[in-house]
A and B are shown apart, each in its own frame.
Chain A
Amino acid sequence: MKYKQIICLVMLSILLVSCIPTRDIEKLGVINTGGVDKLDNDLIEVTSEIFHFASQSNDLTRIVSGKGKTIKDSVENASSKSNFTLTAEKIQLEIYGKETAKKGILRYIDTLDRDASLPDSMYLAISDTSAKELLSTDSEDISLDIGQFLHGLIEENSTDHLFPRINFQDFQSSFYDIGKDPYLPLFEIEDGIPILAAIAIMQDDRYVGRIPIKDKLYFNLMKENIKDMTMELGLPTKPFEKYIEKEENISKREETLHTSYNILKGSSKTKLIDQENLVFETDIKLRLNLIEMTEEVLIKNEAVIKLLEKEVNKAVKTHYEELLAQLQEWNADAFEYGSVYRSHKDKGHQLTRNEWREMFPEITVNFNVDAKVVSHGAAD
């Protein structure tokens, strides 16, 4: 009697399992990278690179594009042009054209949040050209397909969760948090090859300006502790003059002494000093390993190291001040001072987005840089 029951249950279970919808991989076009461009008259164009596994074809990837009023509508439109069902469950990178990003990307973000089948781990980026143009670059020099190549550019240029690895969740978090503005990597096409060219600074969801990619270090340092990263600094040659090896160094000396360091440890801490006058203090700590110098400065004693450290402090400080001035001009708080301000806010009042927009250009920040050159490599 008991066995009959159990067999009955098992049979029914097997029958029920077949009700689960199936999808054959040969009929799927798996979207790997997506690009969004806004066209005129309220239309958007979605260009996507898809993987398909049909046995007849040699090419594993293909670029498809479609137009529509919403992202999903455009994907549907692209789907109707290809013989695959397009699915976006494995999407790795989403790119917005610069012109599109200038008008705001929030309306394209909604579906990423609402549609639970999409992963949060996808990276977001902006293209200097239109996204379609970027995804259509076809170069001999890229051995991979374009989507994987761009994804690789982002992956390999950072570690952990640091820039340019800005995924959907990071973006959303800095977008929604009061007193923070997001920034995204910006791709450019140089000699037919896409490169990671700049940091695209956003005000809320709108692109407002770009900062060269080599400054990513300064942004990462404000956000998290960093280690094992290279930093290049141009210092004035003058203070080092008396330590420069005179005899060997025959050629005429340059104005600037270029130096490179490996950052062993870097951290930053921001405090609100004066709530009334909006004065902040940011302490930056750097432990450096000198790895390159364009002039033969002999590091014979501590005084030279002290001098070097002093100049490094000055240079980093100046650079931070320049960056902040630039951000204030754009009114985009990528350094997240608003977040610090919000944390110290008195009880009972919540800082609003607009309040901070008005305050941010007014803030003053004292940067205190404490750089220590821990070692100067294998040479004096």
Chain B
Amino acid sequence: MNINVTINKSLKIPAFYLFFIIHGIQTGVGIMGVPRYIFSKAHQDSWISILLALIFMIIVAYIMLLILKQYENADIFNIQVDIFGSWIGKLFGTVYILFFAATLISVILTYIQVIQIFLYPTIPSFVVTGLLIFLVIYIVSGGIKTLVGVTFIFVILSQWILILAYDPISRMDWAHFLPMFQASIPDLLQGVKATTYSVTGFEILFVIYPFISNKEKAKLPVILGLCYTTFLILSTTAISIGYFSARDLGDIEWSTITLFKNVSYTFVERLDYLLIAEWMMIIIPNIAIYMWAITIGMKRLYKIPQRITLYTTSFIVLIVATVIKSDIYINKLTDTLSSVGFWLIFIYPFVLLPLVILKKKWRKRKGSV
């Protein structure tokens, strides 16, 4: 198996778009409910946890880029095969694919849950899943250029939501942040961990890296993407802490959406309804990129054509998303994913890096001999 992949020049994308890809895949359903989880651990000092999470994320992203740089043009699937051999490497690659698939399903399930609670209590799950999946099939079969284009457009088109935040901001009670620095270090670290589910996604760097045309410029857009995501999480959490009372924030399932339940205009009474519909623009790049990563992974590991994986996965997602209904299971899935994600995304690269460097040295020595 050739470790480096050759990508057709016409399929390559400039590093600039990494900003939108990283931000687009990180921001999804997680941000709708994350303030509550961070708050339950770090309380009024949650903002420190989030800033710590950003530093941690930047370090991890740096490590990822370092790993990728050891090869000419490889992605995680090939690197793992190279390091661990065909069997274990493929097994690890499959873990990645399963993780992508599970995240994809959890995003869809959470979004359906929100729609059912806020908009249509009786809408069947398969309708929403179907509509989303059709769009995803359409985007992914358009290839990476369509994918990146959609991400770019949708990220830009959904930024207006930020303007609506003026209303909750004007109602904030700053005393909720006092007294400051009450959380202990373990609490803060727990808060960092609670942030992980909503920042998962930047592991896509491992998959999309070979498609970048100017790799030397990749670092800046990646870091900016991470910073922007963190900025959004930080501001929604800070606004939530100021807006809700402590006891209340612990109870609210989707605090970010509830923030906007108070915004109303003479021409639209309930802006939260529009917001949930608009959230589809945030979800679509998310699930489309995951779907694309799955198809690429299957192609690299098992040589299965992307089209076949696309249709099979879509079908499986449709079935699973229809079957799982109870919010207890959905929360369980999310919890499991966030703890698996923590190890897979934040810890695993630290293990992988020394191995990759060792292997490279070993190969050099062997080459020189």
Contact = CB atoms under 8 A, between A and B. Distances in A.
A106 B179 CA distance: 28
Contacts of A116: 117-118, 258, 261
Interface string B135-165: 0011001000000000000000000000000
A111 to B, nearest CB: 14
A339 B141 CA distance: 57
A28 B334 CA distance: 38
A169 B171 contact: yes
Interface stretch (A10-18, A34-42, A300-308, A321-329): A10-18
Contacts of B245: 172-177
B130 A12 contact: yes
A378 interface: no
Q: Size band of the B side of the interface?
A: 35 or more
Given A20-B123, A177-B246, A340 B118 contact: no
A126 to B, nearest CB: 21
Interface stretch (A117-125, A279-287, A360-368): A117-125
A9 interface: yes
B214 interface: no
Contacts of A170: 171
B127 A16 contact: yes
A177 B175 CA distance: 10
Interface in A166-207: 167, 169-170, 172-178
A183 to B, nearest CB: 15
Given A176-B245, A177-B246, A340 B175 contact: yes
B298 to A, nearest CB: 20
A17 B131 contact: yes
Given A6-B138, A13-B134, A345-B179, A173 B118 contact: no
B266 interface: no
A89 interface: yes
Nearest to A90: B269
B175 A343 contact: yes
Contact of A19 (B124, B138, B170, B269): B124
A229 to B, nearest CB: 18
B262 interface: yes
A246 interface: no
What are the nearest 8 A-B pairs in CB distance? A343-B178, A176-B245, A120-B261, A176-B247, A177-B245, A19-B127, A120-B262, A116-B118
Interface of B: 117-118, 120, 122-124, 127, 130-131, 134, 137-138, 141, 170-171, 173, 175-176, 178-179, 182, 243-248, 251, 258, 261-264, 269-270, 272
6 contacts: A13-B134, A89-B270, A90-B269, A119-B261, A167-B262, A175-B245
